[in-house]
């Protein structure tokens, strides 16, 4: 496979992540060193390489295999690409036994296959639900993408986003003046729409809540941002954004642990600096998983909790601070569980409770909740050059939605919002994608 | 890495077809980029959007919020998709010589 | 029978098997787990997590969620294997007398014990055959299969097959086997019984146990380690009023 036809396109500059390019001929040796290191500090990696029995139960449950029909996209086959090198070089036991287990020397073709197939896994962890051993293939994908990054093999898409994260604290690279300009505009829009002076505070010290939106909420999904402002206003909660971090997503999770840690710490520091009582995470799937599951490991005991917008809204509903008018959302609405909300973040019942309160006609799709299929864009597989792949990855989801005959597909995750409209159009499913904030904003009684 | 050849001048594009260097942009380049987006000619409405984008980009270094762009130019989102089939981020920004908006968009 | 085969080899097998298993498990525990990997929904308490592991180990819950056909084949094989292994303790250790505590006669207890063993043996062979057919005939499963996957099935079919052969055609009195095994366990070994089917069965078991710690059969222990990663309860730092 030549360098020029690599999908996704390779980044030419990873210096912001302190990553350099290993010359092609040195890659196999470097890869072995890195893999050896990882096996010493990631128990999940070693266990999963050891414990698989090749039963194939994962194969028919993976949307990547179902959609692309490429046998290497079976979770078991994907991990076997690493396992065969592991068996050759690191696994215990006599070499003849390891040869029977498919041991194979590492070569350039293997590294090419790693890049090709570990960027066809959405890290959705559906396989972990159906694997008898509980093997979480996403852990292997994350580790292997990090290994590839150390070789210099990073998608241009991911490198660009991590650079923006470092420079501006958001994925889009929106600098502070542009953020403030956009916020000012949205406040004007809110006034036009409601007649009320609904603020979107920025860097307000001593506020009760620091809200961390997706940066796309300040670019394309502005309905969501306006809805959040309305909710805080009606609930009478003092809140603020932070100009130094307007990104609840964390692309470091997908392939680069130092970036994961740095971005996570940034949010904690912003919260401490502003002296808030809690941080509320916005509509981002993997961002939620990171904030909920990884934050205290990275930062130690937290000075304040990190909660999700939906948990916050449910508290307001319980207290009677806000009420919804269902009739404002009359269409048939179905709900897409972002992988990292359901399997990754234990946010299954909460969005449903809110939906039942603010739409008239909510129906579940099949499969749903922790069994739901990934949208196909997970782990940042959103680049244009991978469009054909993305449409194949989204095919099982498209079928689930088609069978509901819904008019609105509620998908409360920024990556899903970027991926699903194209997937639905491509597979000819007539549905509009909306965030849950959008639906809440429509139904909120001001 | 593709290239545009405009009256002998070679303009370098990145793999997504956007200008490698936004500073070299001019109206002739816009027309050439439009052709790569299956937009055969640039009408007054096209230029309204393009000029707005250029101005915003010069001031802030990024593309504007889509809703704001629609409000300020008076061109609604549906019309944007008619004028620029790839949409405001991938179509209009490309022809206007901006950097490609990245992130969850 | 030579001393090497009858006496020395079984001890070597035992050491390799037990030592190997323990070594593998210790190797896993020595590696840290940097982050929490829970797959939700998941229990909040350690009790709940242990219950989940038990449900998986006994009922094969995750397979039940997927394709019921594979669940049936796998569950039948594993459950009958469990019965057989436990049954060997009762059949050889207690010579089938375990049911006398319910008040039935020694002869009836032995008969019942043998009957249960026969049924379990049939189920085991059936399960193994179904799994083998699946591995050979399904294109997706063939794609992911190595020699080791076929070898495990061959060894097990050899063991189960020779066991059933002894049960149906070439019975060996359990008291003779008991004498031999007790001799090994008390470090006063005697010569093994001169019974071809038994020797084949016993040798196949030894080969399997020698191979066990280096093979995917370690999933028998490993499954608890790997499932624990996605099930273990963790405390979330949230203060919601």
Residue ranges of domains in chain B? 1-105
Q: Does the beta-carbon distance from B104 to A382 stay under 8 Å? A: yes
pLDDT given at position C7: 84
With beta carbons under 8 A apart, name residues in chain C contacting A342.
Answer: 40
Contact C31 A42 (CB under 8 A): yes
How close is the nearest chain B Cα to the Cα of A59, in Å? 28
A424 interfacial to chain B (CB closer than 8 Å): no
Angle between helices A309-319 and A436-443 (to 10 degrees): 20
Rounded mean pLDDT of B59-63?
96
DSSP H or E segment with residue A118: helix A108-118
Distance, CA of A35 to CA of A257 (rounded, Å): 15
Q: Do chains A and C touch (3 or more CB pairs under 8 A)?
A: yes
Angle among Cα C116, C119, C120 to the nearest 5 degrees reads 85
Residue of A nearest to C220 (CA): A51
CB contact under 8 A, B102 and A172: yes
Distance from CA of B84 to the nearest CA of A (A): 16
* pLDDT for position C241: 41
CB A396 within 8 A of CB A60: no
Is B70 one of the annotated active-site residues of the chain?
no
Enumerate the residues of chain B whose CB falls inside 8 A of the CB of residue A171.
102-104
Q: What span, in angstroms and rounded, lies between the C-alpha atoms of A117 and A115?
A: 6
> Does the structure's ipTM exceed the value 0.90?
yes
**Res C1: pLDDT:** 55
Query: In B, which residues are within 8 Å of A216 by CB distance?
Result: 103-105
Neighbours of chain B (3+ CB pairs under 8 A): A
Angle between helices A176-194 and B66-73 (to 10 degrees): 70
Note whether A343 contacts C40, CB cutoff 8 Å. yes
| CA separation for the pair A39, A43 (Å, rounded) | 7
Shortest CA gap B32–chain A (Å)? 21
Query: Backbone dihedral region of A206: left (phi > 0), alpha (psi from -120 to 50 degrees) or beta?
Result: left
pLDDT at residue C238, as a whole number: 59
* CB-CB under 8 Å, A296 with C148: no
In the prediction, which pLDDT does B3 show?
87
Asked if residue C81 lies in contact with residue C57, where contact means CB atoms within 8 angstroms, the answer is no
Q: How high does pLDDT run on average in chain C?
A: 94
CA distance B88 to chain A (A): 10
Token pair belonging to A45: 């990696």
Question: A147 pairs with which residues across the strands?
Answer: none
What pLDDT is recorded for position C240? 46
Decide if A101 and C74 are in contact by the 8 Å CB cutoff.
no
Coil, strand or helix at A280: strand
**Residue-range domains of chain A with CATH:** 20-153 (1.10.1060), 171-446 (no CATH)
Core vs surface per residue A311-345: b (16+ CB within 10 A) or e:
bbbbbbbeeeebebeeeebeebbbbbbbbbbbbbb
Inter-chain CB proximity A284 and B60 less than 8 Å = no
For C56, which of A132, A136, A305 is closest by C-beta distance?
A: A132
Chain A: give the shortest CA distance to residue C81, in Å: 17
What integer pLDDT is reported at residue A4 of this predicted model? 46
Tokens of A187: 């406040």
Which residues of chain B lie closer than 8 angstroms to A156, CB-CB?
15
Neighbour count for residue C166 (Cβ, 10 Å)? 19
Residues A56, C144: C-beta atoms closer than 8 Å: yes
Mean pLDDT along residues B57-64: 96
Q: B104 and A177: CB-CB below 8 Å?
A: no
How much is the pTM? 0.96
Minimal C-alpha gap between C205 and chain A (Å): 17
Chains B and C touch (3+ CB pairs under 8 A): no
Mutate: best of C31, C58, C59, C69, partner A, most A CBs <10 A = C31
Cα(B17)–Cα(B1) distance, integer angstroms: 8
Nearest 10 degrees: CA dihedral of B51, B53, B54, B60? 150
Q: How many CB atoms lie within 10 A of CB B23?
A: 6
Is A414 within 8 Å of chain B by CB?
yes
State residue A238's pLDDT score. Answer: 98
A partners (3+ CB pairs within 8 A) are B, C
- pLDDT less than 50: residues of chain A: 1-4
> CB-based contact (8 Å) between A185 and chain B?
yes
Looking at per-residue pLDDT, the higher value among C210 and B8 belongs to C210
Answer yes or no: are the C-beta atoms of A270 and A240 closer than 8 Å.
no
Q: What is the fold of B1-105?
A: Arc Repressor Mutant, subunit A (1.10.10)
- Interface contact flag, A97 C148, Cβ < 8 Å: yes
Query: How do residues C71-102 score in pLDDT, each as one tens digit?
Result: 999 999 999 999 999 999 999 999 989 999 99
pLDDT score, position A149: 98
Neighbours of chain C (3+ CB pairs under 8 A): A
- What does the DSSP 8-state code read for residue A304? S
CA closest to A136 among chain C residues: C230
Q: Which chain C residues touch A102 with a CB distance below 8 Å? A: 146-148
pLDDT of C214 = 94
Q: How far apart are CA A46 and CA A79, in angstroms?
A: 11
Contact between chains at A218 and B103 (C-beta distance less than 8 A): no
Q: If we measure between CA atoms, which residue out of A261, A260, A254 comes closest to residue A379? A: A254
Taking a C-beta distance cutoff of 8 angstroms, is the pair A118, A78 a contact?
A: yes
- The mean predicted confidence, pLDDT, of chain A is 96
CA atoms within 13 Å, Cβ hemisphere of A422: 23
Best CA proximity match to A309, nearest among A343, A333, A272, A338: A338
Nearest to A175 among B60, B63, B67 (CB): B60
Find out if CATH 1.20.950.20 is the number for domain C37-231.
yes
């Amino acid at each position: 496979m030549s360098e020029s036809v690599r999908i996704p396109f390779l980044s030419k500059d990873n210096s912001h992540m302190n990553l350099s390019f290993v010359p092609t001929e040195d890659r196999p040796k470097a890869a072995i060193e890195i893999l050896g290191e990882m096996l010493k500090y990631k128990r999940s990696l070693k266990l999963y390489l050891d414990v698989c029995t090749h039963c194939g139960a994962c194969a028919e449950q993976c949307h990547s295999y179902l959609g692309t029909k490429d046998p290497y996209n079976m979770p078991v086959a994907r991990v076997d690409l690493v396992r065969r090198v592991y068996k050759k070089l690191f696994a215990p036991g006599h070499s003849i036994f390891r040869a029977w287990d498919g041991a194979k020397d590492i070569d350039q073709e293997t590294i090419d296959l790693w890049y090709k197939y570990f960027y066809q896994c959405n890290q959705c962890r559906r396989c972990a639900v159906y694997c008898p051993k509980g093997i979480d293939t996403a852990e292997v994908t994350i580790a292997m993408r990090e290994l590839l990054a150390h070789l210099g093999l990073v998608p241009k898409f991911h490198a660009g986003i991590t650079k923006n994260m470092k420079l501006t604290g958001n994925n889009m690279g929106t600098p502070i003046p542009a953020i403030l300009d956009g916020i000012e505009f949205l406040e004007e829009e809110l006034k036009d729409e409601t007649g009320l002076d609904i603020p979107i505070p920025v860097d307000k010290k001593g506020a009760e809540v620091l809200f961390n939106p997706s940066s796309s909420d300040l670019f394309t999904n502005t309905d969501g941002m306006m809805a959040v402002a309305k909710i805080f206003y009606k609930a009478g909660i003092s809140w603020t954004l932070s100009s130094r971090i307007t990104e609840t997503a964390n692309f470091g999770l997908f392939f680069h642990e130092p970036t994961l840690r740095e971005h996570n710490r940034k949010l904690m520091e912003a919260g401490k600096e502003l002296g808030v009582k809690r941080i509320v995470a916005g509509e981002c799937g993997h961002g939620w998983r990171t904030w909920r599951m990884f934050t205290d490991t990275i930062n130690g005991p937290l000075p304040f909790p990190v909660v999700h917008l939906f948990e916050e809204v449910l508290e307001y509903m319980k207290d009677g601070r806000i009420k919804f008018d269902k009739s404002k959302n009359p269409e048939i609405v179905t709900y897409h569980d972002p992988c990292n909300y359901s399997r990754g973040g234990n946010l299954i019942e909460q969005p449903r409770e809110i939906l039942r309160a603010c739409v008239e006609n909510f129906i579940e799709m099949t499969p749903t909740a922790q069994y739901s299929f990934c949208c196909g864009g997970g782990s940042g597989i959103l680049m244009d050059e991978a469009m054909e792949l993305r449409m194949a990855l989204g095919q099982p989801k498209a079928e689930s939605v088609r069978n509901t005959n819904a008019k609105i597909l509620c998908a409360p995750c920024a990556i899903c919002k970027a991926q699903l409209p194209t997937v639905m159009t491509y597979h000819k499913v007539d549905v509009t994608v909306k965030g849950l904030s959008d639906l809440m904003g429509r139904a909120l009684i001001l | 890495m593709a290239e545009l050849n405009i009256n002998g001048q070679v303009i370098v594009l990145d793999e997504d077809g956007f200008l490698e260097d936004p500073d070299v942009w001019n109206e002739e380049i816009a027309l050439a980029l439009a052709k790569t987006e299956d937009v055969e000619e640039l009408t007054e409405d096209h230029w309204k959007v393009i000029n707005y984008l250029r101005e915003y980009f010069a001031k802030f270094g990024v593309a504007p919020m889509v809703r704001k762009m629609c409000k300020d130019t008076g061109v609604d989102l549906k019309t944007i998709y008619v004028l620029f089939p790839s949409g405001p981020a991938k179509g209009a920004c490309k022809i206007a010589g901006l950097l490609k908006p990245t992130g969850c968009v | 029978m030579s001393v090497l085969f009858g006496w020395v080899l079984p001890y070597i097998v035992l050491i390799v098997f037990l030592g190997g298993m323990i070594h593998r498990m210790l190797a896993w525990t020595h590696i840290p787990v940097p982050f929490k990997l829970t797959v939700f929904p998941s229990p909040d308490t350690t009790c709940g997590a242990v219950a989940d592991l038990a449900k998986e180990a006994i009922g094969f819950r995750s397979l039940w969620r997927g394709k019921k056909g594979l669940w049936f084949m796998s569950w039948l094989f594993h459950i009958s294997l469990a019965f057989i292994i436990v049954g060997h303790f009762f059949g050889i250790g207690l010579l089938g007398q375990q049911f006398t505590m319910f008040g039935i006669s020694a002869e009836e207890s032995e008969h019942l014990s043998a009957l249960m063993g026969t049924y379990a043996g049939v189920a085991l062979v059936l399960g193994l055959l179904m799994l083998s057919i699946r591995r050979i005939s399904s294109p997706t499963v063939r794609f992911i299969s190595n020699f080791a996957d076929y070898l495990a099935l061959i060894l097990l079919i050899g063991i189960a097959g020779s066991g059933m052969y002894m049960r149906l055609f070439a019975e060996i009195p359990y008291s003779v086997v008991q004498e031999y095994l007790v001799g090994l366990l008390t470090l006063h070994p005697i010569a093994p019984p001169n019974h071809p089917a038994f020797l084949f069965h016993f040798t196949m078991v030894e080969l399997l146990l020698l191979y066990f710690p280096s093979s995917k059969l370690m999933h028998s222990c490993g499954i608890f380690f790997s499932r624990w990663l996605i099930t273990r309860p963790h405390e979330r730092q949230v203060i919601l009023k």
